[in-house]
Structure 1
Amino acid sequence: MNENSGLYTGDGSVDIKGNPVLKSNTGNWKVCPFILGTECCERLAYYGIATNLVSYLTKKLHEGNVSAARNVTTWQGTCYLTPLIGAVLADAYWGRYWTIAAFSTIYFIGMCTLTLSASIPAFEPAECVDALCPSAGPAQYAIFFFGLYLIALGTGGIKPCVSSFGADQFDDTDPKERVKKGSFFNWFYFSINIGALLSSSLIVWIQDNKGWGLGFGIPALFMGVAIVSFFSGTPLYRFQKPGGSPITRMCQVVVASCRKWNLVVPSDSSLLYETPDKISAIEGSRKLVHTDELK
């Protein structure tokens, strides 16, 4: 009944309570400001730390250039590895919404810890005297890097999920909404660049001229705004249910391909579907249509 009426989404979307959702009340452009605002603020927070981090390590923690560059590179590399954790959790267990919510909280705690490490004198080494610069102590290093790597963990749940969660707000079975999805990604990357631009200019200037506590505190504030923005749209979001680990399904495809490589392909493409039903056998996934490519 819901499918024939055209009032409900046809891609299996549900609301926060797991009920089918009306197209007119949920998703689409009405929720995009919440998601785009989240991404813009999160990118501002990330680049507000990453852009000038070498300067902080050399000027405030009195590290050498080589050590500072190595620490920053290691941290940034970690930021690009942790999305593997977030992606698996989102697809297999938690769903994108709860993954973003949980990791955003971790991210915010890391930002606050980093701000405190740059604001409280006891958490910083003493100032240089006559060109002699005392190194940071173990406790000072521990607090700083604890906050820094909490941020790396937090970004692992946000980076792989926000864009796809935004795409979930547009029904693939509706031709009009499918066109709007492409426009959403244009605005999504515009939001990323706005956040990066503000960080690379304004935030860096504040850090160099007004102090690191304020320079880290402003990105932390924007991360708090990102969390508020994200949760504000909860009643209007469309949710896709997690459908199990994609790694398991990929392995199944490889094994099946090796075992059945010499089977004759039927001429009727409808026989190639995973199930005779119109919906996917995998909960939370859309059914793939037949294609003649990649035989």
Structure 2
Amino acid sequence: MAAAAAAGEDEEKRPLLLRPNGGGGWRACVLILGTELSDCLAFAGIARNLVSYLTGVVGESNVAAARDVSAWTGTCFLTPLVGAFIADSYLGRRTTILLFLSIYTMGMITLTVSASFATPHLDTSSDGVLRATVFLGLYLVALGVGGIKPCASPLGADQFDDDDAAPAARASFFNWYYFCINIGSLLAATVLVWVQERAGWWLGFAIPAAVMAAALAAFLFCSTLCGLRASQSPPGSPLTRLCQVVVAAFRNRGVELPGDSSLLHQLPDGDHRIIEHTDQFAFLDKAAVVASSPAVAMASPWMLCTVTQVEEVKMLLRLSAVWPTVVFFFAATAQMSSTFVEQGKAMDTRVGPLDVPPATLSTFEVVSILLCVPAYDAVLMPLARRVTGDRRGLSQLQRLGVGLALSALAMAYSALLEASRRRRRAATSIVWQAPSYMALGAAEVFTSVGLLEFFYDQAPDTMKSLCTAVSLVAVAAGSYLNSAIVAVVAWATAPEKGGGGWIPDDLNHGRLDCFFWLMFGLSCVNLLAFVYSSTRYSYKVAN
């Protein structure tokens, strides 16, 4: 007994990565983490420098390139809804990842082929074949991303279902998952961007294409070897459950709600899935009223739903009040892959003996994230806990708000930097862009990570995957919003400076600083809207 207890104590002290697991465990998770690292390396390798490829090789203007980058980035964060729906309703997570990895790899190969079409002396602005190949490859990649993002992290968590230390192991897995995302982004912003600018775009796309092909082969042939456990058979789409409540409530729109909520249709007593009734959004309660013959009504979920199912929809509606205020945050962060790069190209890119590609400055964003994550856990959280009394230090909504404020400050700094650059022309060193990237990196630690935590924690237990995808849609909406803002600014300011507007091809004849001040003002308005909605939010009551 004593020996067994000592062995158990030693097991608890052993690092999680070294503990044995039943089922898939960490051996399977290494395969999933490798897949996510490959995904992030390829995606960031495109996104970090896409504006340079579109302007320098495809021949687009600065405005068109900024618009197309934002539209593509937005699509990459919109397609996870498609992937989540297919995984939850038909194929399961493992098969969905395998299918979309194949699409992703084809997209990277197509982009590599597009780079081989371009020559230094070719006028590519009128080359329709080149443009068609580029955008075919880009949107195949966007579709591939949609099948991996919503499935990889849940599939990793599935590997610990039968493990006694499952909660701790899952937490450790998510830490490593986030670590791999940032390592992939860091490698892309340094190695891949440098290869693209110095060795050529063909090699810059061929490297991540080869990495994705290797990830596809590993996932296809090593899943059994690693003991990768597939998720359970798809239980049906959460969207169907949501629609059932809406349809049933509409059908029963003419009935009276009972004065006692216990008369509403509910799961059997003792069912662990039960969610208690709330008074908010009372119209939806009509979906749980037995308005016709009980036998007939209970035979169809489109006629009668449980209170638990209705409350799940109410939780989504509460989240939807906060979601729009986060969208503009991602419109601000979209500047890192568009206007920040264009601003850097107009600055002095020499740093000592090196000529630094403008997109490489995004490395400071990743470094900021890697520094801020441990600092948040080890320093800020304990200090904030003493002040607020909240076990998290900052509440989930407070964490989101800090990130929104930091993004506004980054826009103000960028505006001041651009005004100084215009006065001094190319004499301003590109290194002065580093604080902008670092401020937005810190903002992401608060808002991007906080958003995932908030939506996961406040979502219904049966819709956590859907809500994770919805949080990614905020990134898509922010990118589309940025694309629209750029287009409107270009149209509204075109009469200035002989038609160049605020963001012309030659930024020395534009007013990019005014654009950044506009983004700062809109960020402040958005922050006020967030404060208003967050003060009225009611947190989910823990069961």
Mapped to 1, the partners of 2:207 and 2:193 lie a distance apart of 11
Q: 1:163: Cα distance to partner?
A: 0.7
Q: 1:227: Cα distance to partner?
A: 1.3
Pairing partner for 1:31 from 5, 8, 28? 28
1:28-75 deviation line (CA, Å, top 9, x unaligned) = 112111010110011101111111000011111111111111111111
Tell me, yes or no, if structure 1 residue 138 matches structure 2 residue 128: yes
Partner of 2:541: 293
Tell me, yes or no, if structure 1 residue 47 matches structure 2 residue 47: no
Tell me, yes or no, if structure 1 residue 218 matches structure 2 residue 207: yes
Partner of 1:178: 167
Contact 1:28/1:177 (<8 A) preserved: no
Higher mean displacement: 97-106 or 244-253: 244-253
Partner of 2:234: 242
Contact 1:125/1:140 (<8 A) preserved: no
Aligned residue pairs total: 252
Mapped to 2, the partners of 1:188 and 1:275 lie a distance apart of 29
1:149-201 deviation line (CA, Å, top 9, x unaligned) = 11011111111111111111111x65412221111000000011110000011
RMSD value, Cα: 3.0
- Counterpart code for 1:237: L
Partner of 1:94: 91
Partner of 1:163: 153
Mapped to 2, the partners of 1:32 and 1:275 lie a distance apart of 29
Tell me, yes or no, if structure 1 residue 68 matches structure 2 residue 89: no
Contact 2:36/2:180 (<8 A) preserved: yes
Contact 1:126/1:134 (<8 A) preserved: no
Mapped to 2, the partners of 1:293 and 1:256 lie a distance apart of 26
Tell me, yes or no, if structure 1 residue 127 matches structure 2 residue 121: yes
Distance 1:54 1:261, change over 3 A: farther
Residue ranges of structure 1 left out of the alignment (5+ in a row): 1-22, 277-285
Q: 1:144: Cα distance to partner?
A: 1.2
Residue ranges of structure 2 left out of the alignment (5+ in a row): 1-19, 275-460, 464-539
Contact 2:118/2:124 (<8 A) preserved: no
Contact 1:31/1:233 (<8 A) preserved: no
Partner of 1:15: none
**Equivalent residues in 2 for 1:77-116 (5 A)?**
77-116=74-113
Partner of 1:13: none
Contact 1:61/1:125 (<8 A) preserved: no
Partner of 2:244: 252
Contact 1:37/1:226 (<8 A) preserved: yes
1:92-119 deviation line (CA, Å, top 9, x unaligned) = 0010011111111001001001001102
Pairing partner for 1:194 from 183, 191, 201? 183
Mapped to 2, the partners of 1:66 and 1:165 lie a distance apart of 40
- Counterpart code for 1:244: G
Distance 1:271 1:116, change over 3 A: same
Distance 1:243 1:56, change over 3 A: same
**Identity across aligned pairs (percent)?**
48
Distance 1:84 1:287, change over 3 A: closer
Structure-2-length-normalised TM-score: 0.43
Contact 2:21/2:163 (<8 A) preserved: no
Tell me, yes or no, if structure 1 residue 228 matches structure 2 residue 217: yes
Distance 1:219 1:95, change over 3 A: same
**Structure number, greater radius of gyration:** 2
